[in-house]
Amino acid sequence: MTVSDINASTVMSETVIAYPGGVSRWDPDAKGRLAEAARELFVEQGFDQTTVADIAARAGLTERTFFRHFVDKREVLFGGDWLAREMTEIVAATPTDVAPLEVVTRAVEQACDAITGSPDWSRERAHIVASHPELQERELAKMAVLGGVLADGLRERGVAPGVAQLTAEAGVLAFRLAYERWADGPRSRRLAPLVRVVLAELRDATTPAG
């Protein structure tokens, strides 16, 4: 997770961490520390019970520093545009002879591997979002952004606009449903393969019986 560009003097004044015995250490990764503290607290005491003050205190920072990096505690669950960037790069790097749906599938699969680098937290995040309607709305908005990114990438490859939009939305839907199943499934299961399972179900649903 990247750190927002902020004035060096502000960093020095706002990210000094006090340790027992009067020892202090400057940690430049304030955003990362805050995100990690929030995740720990969400798991330990619940999302609703965790305040910004709690998060800042756990990170050894100030509430003022928290609001420099996040609008509110919900943004810890959604912050950053790295996933959109990664999908854009994957689409652009895929050979030109690959069909649009396969391009999107590959992008989504690799994104799945990226977001499940910390599987316990990724599952906990899914459960937090599922338990809060306002977070579900925000998750859908994030999915819409990813769909737009994928559609733009396909159009740049010469795919017709309508086909690009439909394909991108199918990929994002598969991504979302696969993530939900993975979060509730066996811990040994990987997320990425579920994307193709969902897409296969979609194809079966559009194939006439017999």
- Please give the model's pTM, rounded to 2 decimal places: 0.78
Report, as an integer, the average pLDDT of 145-164.
97
Residues linked to residue 16 through DSSP beta bridges, in sequence order: 26
Task: Between 112 and 7, name the one with better pLDDT.
Answer: 112
Better-scored residue on pLDDT, 8 or 127: 127
| pLDDT value of residue 210 | 62
What tokens appear for 127 in the block?
A: 């459960």
Topology (CATH level 3) of domain 81-205: Tetracycline Repressor; domain 2 (1.10.357)
User: Would you place residue 208 in the very low, low, confident or very high pLDDT band (cuts 50, 70, 90)?
Assistant: confident
**Domain spans of the chain?**
8-76, 81-205
Same CATH topology for 8-76 and 81-205: the answer is: yes
Kindly indicate the confidence band of residue 115, based on its pLDDT and cuts at 50, 70 and 90: confident
pLDDT at 21 > cutoff 80: no
Work out the pLDDT band at 182, boundaries 50, 70, 90.
very high
- Give the side-chain half-sphere CA count within 13 A for 170: 22
Backbone region of residue 158 per phi and psi (left: phi > 0; alpha: psi in -120 to 50; beta: other values): left
Residue 98 reports pLDDT greater than 60 = yes
Q: Which residues pair with 17 in a beta bridge?
A: 25
pLDDT at 114: 84
Q: Which fold has domain 8-76?
A: Tetracycline Repressor; domain 2 (1.10.357)
User: What's the average model confidence in pLDDT over 157-161?
Assistant: 97
pLDDT bracket for residue 12 (50, 70, 90):
very low
Query: Nearest to residue 171, comparing CAs of 153, 196, 190, 193?
Result: 196
Q: Evaluate whether 86 touches 110 at the Cβ level (below 8 Å).
A: yes
